[in-house]
Chain A
Amino acid sequence: MKVDLKQVEEAAKTLYIRALKMLPPDIKEGFRQLDARETHATGKAILGTLIRNIQVAEDTDNLLCQDTGIPIYNVWIGKNVEVDGAALREAIRRGCARSTREYSFRSSIVHPVTRVNEQTSCGRNVPVIHFDFTDRADMLEIEMIPKGSGSENNSWLRMAVPADGVDAIKTFVVDCVLEAGGKTCPPTIVGVGVGGSADLCVHLSKIAATRPLGSRCEDPEGAKLEESLTRAVNQLGVGPQGLGGDATAFAVHVETAATHITMNPVAVNMQCHSARRARATFTPKGVTYGF
């Protein structure tokens, strides 16, 4: 399959706008479940407002949240796919910039030192673009995630030591949720990276935070941690918006990687309740959009 880069540029643009407007069905279902279980009056009222907002965004064809986030594109290249990698990256950048200018939504991206905003949602090394490969044939997939800053500003890495054991991982996750309070726009998806190197650990926490609700860690040890940590953080009573309640997190997601004999790293990255994602799949038949 030969990839049409014009189509990629168009999709990179469409994906950003689509992600900002429409929540994936798994997140909507997550809201429904949290709302059904919520016992705290303020928490219940806030969940009601958030569920209403999802409908208002769809009815008025508007963005769910004002924060257009830091744009992330995850790309999977299948077998038998012919594409110029550097040109693919450029096509995604162009599409990202066009979405901002043509829709006229907020460019949230500035230079880290001068703080100058180019008003394109782009800058040095942004959008963040990750390339990976898949066994599936004749297919290229692009996932777009506008990662909100309220949740991203609450990201942590701890290089614990082996003597601290798995207790250090569990304690760290609970303490991060307490530290975040309402700043991350709970209910959140708490993404936890366990193991790897420092950078891989943080990267895993982001993968975990942006995974669909209902998905499980492929590592059974990670899956066990997901279950127990989800229960534990929802005992804290932080609640929606940090104003009290049962619904502190939709879920805790864990991703793991092997690590060094001397290391025990743990990272936490959170996804806010506006857990936006959009996906485009390119096949020889054309492009289809989903989540």
Chain B
Amino acid sequence: MAHYDFATPVTEEQVRKLRVNDTVTLEGALYGIRDATQIHLFDKGRKTRFDLRGHAVLHTAPNVKKVEKSITCPAGYAPVCIGTTTSDRMERYTRPLMSQYGARIVIGKGGLREGSAAAFSELGGVYLAVVGGAAALETTWIEAIEDVDLDDLNPESLWKFRVKGFGPLLVSMDSRGGSLYTEVNRAARVKRAAALRSLGVKDR
């Protein structure tokens, strides 16, 4: 269980070193994506001007305030509350995010499935867990909203955040097929029988 401080973008070597239960703290650019962002990018054929190669994407749709563009708010948005959403809904976009855009780190909550685990193994990627629902805290790790693309999808635009001390995040899926979610789920299913017995449920 090692801790790593990464400045983004990262290399394949860096993410391949990570193992389940390691922790990572990020600094630099971080891209916010959501259901609609990826539906438009991958199902509707739209493109982004952002270069995501080696970068980290966060499953989010932030609360923001429209403001005058300035040095501190270069995109004309001030962060209000930025947190993380459930990743599972966006499972099928992990592979194209990596193969078409070169993303290496997916940050979310609740975990992803086998398809993503395979993409992480084949293409060199990793899933980092944020503590979901701790958005007030997460917002304090965001320095600025630097840029925004596909903003007609607001709040599900493609956001470019600048972050500092973003973490610690837990490596919960690594590039060797390791997944804490699979481990916990497997163990929980073993305990199911005992739980049902304690409830007096008869085996029929």
Counting CB contacts under 8 A, is A129 at the interface?
Answer: no
Q: Which of A4-12, A190-198, A227-235, A281-289 lies on the face that meets chain B? A: A227-235
Choose from A60, A64, A236 the contact partner of B188 (Cβ within 8 Å). A236
Q: Measured between C-beta atoms, what is the minimum distance from A150 to chain B in Å? A: 4
In the complex, A171→B137 CA distance in Å?
37
Check: B150 CB closer than 8 A to any chain A CB.
no
Q: How many angstroms between the C-alpha atoms of A241 and B135 in the bound complex?
A: 14
CB closest residue in chain B, given A106: B63
Q: Is the CB of A237 within 8 A of B187?
A: yes
Q: Using a Cβ cutoff of 8 Å, how many contacts connect chains A and B?
A: 182
Q: Knowing A53-B135, A63-B81 touch, does A242 contact B191 (C-beta < 8 A)?
A: no
Q: How far is the CB of A103 from chain B (nearest CB, A)?
A: 8
Q: When the two chains form their complex, are residues A62 and B196 in contact, meaning their CB atoms are under 8 A apart?
A: no
Neighbour of B81 across the interface among A62, A233, A241, CB < 8 A: A62
Please pick, from A62, A149, A182, the residue contacting B109 in the complex, using a CB distance under 8 A: A182
Residues B105-156 near A (CB distance < 8 A): 109-111, 129, 131-140, 154-155
| B2 contacts partner chain A, Cβ-Cβ < 8 Å | no
Q: Is the CB of B110 within 8 A of A181?
A: yes
Q: Is the CB of A235 within 8 A of B191?
A: yes
CB of B86 within 8 A of CB of A60, answer no
CB neighbours of A62 from chain B (8 A): 80-81, 135-136, 139
How many chain A residues have a CB neighbour from B under 8 Å? 56
Residue numbers in B under 8 Å from A119 (CB-CB): 154
Q: How far apart are the CA atoms of A89 and B120 in the complex, in Å?
A: 50
Chain A to chain B contacts (Cβ below 8 Å), 17 pairs: A65-B135, A104-B65, A106-B155, A149-B85, A170-B199, A170-B200, A170-B201, A178-B185, A181-B184, A182-B111, A185-B86, A229-B199, A235-B198, A236-B195, A241-B110, A241-B131, A243-B129
When C-beta atoms are compared, the residue in chain A nearest to B155 turns out to be A106
Taking CB atoms, residues of chain B closer than 8 Å to A1 are: none
Min Cβ gap B132→A in Å is 5
User: A49-B131, A67-B83, A153-B89 in contact; A232/B198 too (CB < 8 A)?
Assistant: yes
- Asked whether any CB of chain B lies closer than 8 Å to the CB of A37, the reply is no
Does A238 touch B at the CB level, under 8 Å?
yes
Q: Is the beta-carbon distance between A64 and B202 smaller than 8 angstroms?
A: no
Q: How far is the CB of B137 from chain A (nearest CB, A)?
A: 4
Q: Which residues of B contact A60 (CB under 8 A)?
A: 136, 139-140
Does B66 belong to the interface (CB within 8 Å)? yes
Q: Which residues of A contact B202 (CB under 8 A)?
A: 167
Interface set of A (CB-CB < 8 Å, partner B)? 42, 46, 49-50, 52-53, 56-57, 60, 62-68, 104-108, 115, 117, 119, 148-150, 153, 167, 170-171, 174-175, 178, 181-185, 228-229, 231-233, 235-239, 241-244, 272-274
Complex Cα spacing A119 to B200, Å: 49
B85 touches A244 (CB 8 A): no
A119 to B82, CA, bound (A): 17
CB < 8 Å neighbour of B133 from A50, A56, A235, A243: A50
* Contact residue among A106, A181, A232 (Cβ-Cβ distance under 8 Å from B61): A106
The answer to whether B170 has its CB under 8 Å from any CB of chain A is yes
Tell me if B10 counts as interface (CB < 8 A to partner A).
no
Q: How far is the CA of A259 from the CA of B187 in the complex (A)?
A: 36
Q: 0/1 per residue, B55-80, Cβ < 8 Å to A?
A: 00000111111100000000000001
A65 to B139, CA, bound (A): 10
A104–B195 touching, CB < 8 Å: no
Residues of A near B189 (CB, < 8 A) are 178
Q: Name the contact of B181 in the complex, choosing from A46, A64, A65, A182 (C-beta under 8 A).
A: A182
Check: B84 CB closer than 8 A to any chain A CB. yes
B155-198 contact mask (Cβ, 8 Å, vs A): 1 or 0:
10000000000000010100000001101110111011011101
B5 in the interface (beta carbon within 8 A): no
Q: Which residues of A contact B183 (CB under 8 A)?
A: 244
B134: chain A residues within 8 A (beta carbon): 49-50, 52-53, 65
